[in-house]
Amino acid sequence: MKISDSLKNKVGLGVDKTSAEKAGAGKKAEASQIDAKATDSVTLSPMSAQLQSLEAKIATDHVFDADKVASIKSAIASGQFKVSSEKVADGLIETVKDLLTPKKT
């Protein structure tokens, strides 16, 4: 037995007109958004230019002292590097204090 479109329409299984209308409205909304995007513009404040120049300066600066790192590496390699347990403990205590102290915003 073949089921034709006429039988679907009689039973009420046809295409939902509201979803078809929604699809058409969605396409119209997309088209208006594309038009809106084409006319949008962005203006940066003078502070953004300052931030960009600072970022460029930081990128060229060294974050650490390369000579100090080289001397520590050589001390470790030769077995002369000594770890001060008191300094390590003090550093840990300060870190914990910072983590436990509520920050004021």
Query: How many other CB atoms sit within 10 Å of the CB of residue 81?
Result: 12
In angstroms, what CA-CA distances link 70 with 67, 81, 82? 5, 12, 15
Helix (H) or strand (E) holding 23, with range, is helix 17-39
**pLDDT, tens digit, for every residue of 19-31?**
555 555 556 666 6
R_g of the chain, CA atoms, integer Å: 34
Pick from 53, 35, 36: nearest CA to 44: 53
| Residue pLDDT, tens place only, 58-100 | 887 777 888 999 999 999 999 999 999 999 999 999 999 999 9
For the whole model, what pTM was predicted? 0.33
The residues spanned by each domain of the chain are 46-100
